[in-house]
Amino acid sequence: MHRARDRDRGWSCLPPCAQKMTRLLLGVTLERICKAVLLLCLLHFVIIMILYFDVYAQHLDFFSRFNARNTSRVHPFSNSSRPNSTAPSYGPAGAEPPSPSAKPNTNRSVTEKPLQPCQEMPSGLVGRLLIEFSSPMSMERVQRENPDVSLGGKYTPPDCLPRQKVAILIPFRHREHHLKYWLHYLHPILRRQKVAYGIYIINQYGEDTFNRAKLLNVGFLEALKDDEEYDCFIFSDVDLIPMDDRNLYRCYEQPRHFAVGMDKFGFRLPYAGYFGGVSGLSKSQFLKINGFPNEYWGWGGEDDDIFNRISLNGMKVSRPDIRIGRYRMIKHERDKHNEPNPQRFTKIQNTKMTMKRDGISSLQYRLVEVSRQPMYTNITVEIGRPPPRLARG
Ligand code: UD2
Ligand code: MN
């Protein structure tokens, strides 16, 4: 009744009621504002959470990549992650060595693919190379062009698991000019070949008669002192550059002779038992022949003695195809204090008798200095002089 009357008068209710209405309206508005604020807060929270998880995920990704990069550079040198590191295996000449098990690196994040064993014949090889020694060469240039080589001339492929760890040993004295060319050509070749390697220059101290084979024996022991994981040793003259990068610098099931065809020999093997220039033996092959002879002072004969040791111990030299095993030698005169050894012809007749007592087992030397250069490790060593009978020659 009252309401009808009020309606008639234009009132919906009496003044106290109007107050109530105003308060009610105010309350509703306030409630709406509160709801809106709450909703905004919720939205804000959701957005914050999304952003937070996104950044966190990026963080995780960054660290996993960072770790992966670190481990991929380090693992080929560490026992834990390098499969078969203490038990090297070798394939036959030119054939595929047994591949290491592709055990994934446990440090890697699940998002990163584990490294695969390096390809037997890496895809980055280019084959025939143009080798020349007329353009000037400097160690600065070699360094500039090989930024991936670490101190001491060491390198390991970052993108695959190398099959072996190779120490490259160079007998040396006063051949700095040749060394620059050797490093200039060999670092990129070895990198393309996916070799994990270290370069060691075995520098004979003093001016006594040169002894190539004894220096190489020293190199074997000193390289292992530096890194006991080396399982392959390549012995190279400082003046010899391969003309084809398919001549792979690694060890094989049988001792390897790499320098099959040299320019100075008309790119032919000079004789069937030739083992000079560049050769490679696994650690066990080297130990089986009691290393190299220590008693060849001056030029010649030591390479034939090594060939005899290999045959006498029931092994057979393996070689690359003649079209691939081609080399250029930097032209040079015979060095002072490296005159032909007049004893060499009789000595190589007696390898069978001498190899057991003369070799790595009887090696004596005095280490003068080990210095790590950016592109190689230099080992200067005093190896004595020939006994008086030989010195009179
Ligand atoms: C041949 C063989 C070499 C070895 C030698 C006989 C070739 C290409 N090489 O070399 O493997 O059997 O005969 O001993 O056929 N060296 C120095 N400073 C010296 C002397 C020698 O650094 O004062 C080093 C250097 O690494 C050199 C190597 O010894 O490349 C062999 O000496 P070489 O080059 O004078 O003798 P070569 O070319 O007749
Ligand atoms: Mn030479």
- Give the CATH number for residue 357: 3.90.550.10
Residue 375 within a domain = yes
Query: Does 156 share its domain with 280?
Result: yes
Residues with CB under 6 A from ligand 1: 170-175, 210, 212, 237-240, 262, 276-277, 299-300, 302-303, 329, 334-335, 338
Question: CA angle, 7 as apex, 6 and 13 as ends, to 5°?
Answer: 50
Ligand 1 atom having least distance to the Cα of 329: 8
Residue 158 within a domain = yes
* Boundary (domain end) residue, out of 58, 75, 92: 75
CA distance 68 to 56: 18
* Boundary (domain end) residue, out of 32, 56, 75: 75
State the ligand closest to the CA atom of 293: 1
Closest CA to 187 of 150, 220, 219: 150
Q: Who's near 146: CB < 8 A, 6+ residues apart? A: 183, 187, 188, 191, 375
pLDDT at residue 150 in the model: 98
* Boundary (domain end) residue, out of 25, 59, 75: 75
State the ligand closest to the CA atom of 172: 1
Ligand 1 atom having least distance to the Cα of 270: 15
pLDDT at residue 98 in the model: 33
Between the CA of 264 and the centroid of ligand 1 the distance, in Å, is 13
State the ligand closest to the CA atom of 182: 1
CA distance 255 to 233: 10
Between the CA of 184 and the centroid of ligand 2 the distance, in Å, is 17
User: Are 230 and 281 a contacting pair, CB within 8 Å?
Assistant: no
pLDDT digits (tens, 9 = 90+) for 92-114: 333 333 333 333 333 445 567 89
State the ligand closest to the CA atom of 278: 1
User: Which residue owns the Cα nearest ligand 1 atom 31?
Assistant: 237
User: Which residue owns the Cα nearest ligand 1 atom 16?
Assistant: 172
The residue whose CB lies within 8 Å of the most ligand 1 atoms, and thus the one to mutate among 170, 212, 294, is 212
Query: Does 159 share its domain with 246?
Result: yes
Residue 96 within a domain = no
Between the CA of 226 and the centroid of ligand 1 the distance, in Å, is 25
Residue 10 within a domain = no
Query: Does 59 share its domain with 166?
Result: no
Residue 352 within a domain = yes
Between the CA of 329 and the centroid of ligand 2 the distance, in Å, is 6
pLDDT at residue 39 in the model: 82
Between the CA of 237 and the centroid of ligand 1 the distance, in Å, is 6
pLDDT at residue 15 in the model: 62
Query: Does 180 share its domain with 311?
Result: yes
pLDDT per residue, tens digit, the chain (393 aa), is 444 444 444 444 456 666 777 777 887 778 888 788 788 868 777 666 655 554 444 333 333 333 333 333 333 333 333 323 323 333 333 333 333 333 333 344 556 789 999 999 999 999 999 999 999 999 999 999 999 999 999 999 999 999 999 999 999 999 999 999 999 999 999 999 999 999 999 999 999 999 999 999 999 999 999 999 999 999 999 999 999 999 999 999 999 999 999 999 999 999 999 999 999 999 999 999 999 999 999 999 999 999 999 999 999 999 999 999 999 999 999 999 999 999 999 999 999 999 999 999 999 999 999 999 999 999 999 999 999 875 554
Query: Does 177 share its domain with 39?
Result: no
SS3 assignment, position 20: helix
Ligand 1 atom having least distance to the Cα of 327: 8
Which residues are known catalytic residues? 237, 239, 299, 302-303, 329, 332, 334
Ligand 1 atom having least distance to the Cα of 278: 11
Closest CA to 343 of 211, 238, 207: 211
Q: What is the CA radius of gyration of the chain?
A: 36
Ligand 1 atom having least distance to the Cα of 296: 14
Question: CA angle, 290 as apex, 284 and 294 as ends, to 5°?
Answer: 135
Query: Does 327 share its domain with 180?
Result: yes
Residue 371 within a domain = yes
Query: Does 182 share its domain with 255?
Result: yes
pLDDT at residue 104 in the model: 34
Residue range of the domain that includes 56? 17-75
Between the CA of 189 and the centroid of ligand 2 the distance, in Å, is 20
User: Which residue owns the Cα nearest ligand 1 atom 12?
Assistant: 276
Give the count of domains, the chain. 2
Residue 275 within a domain = yes
Q: Could you say which DSSP state residue 314 is in? A: T
Judged on CB neighbours under 10 Å (0-12, 13-18, 19+), 160 is middle
Query: Does 272 share its domain with 153?
Result: yes
Query: Does 149 share its domain with 71?
Result: no
Residue 105 within a domain = no
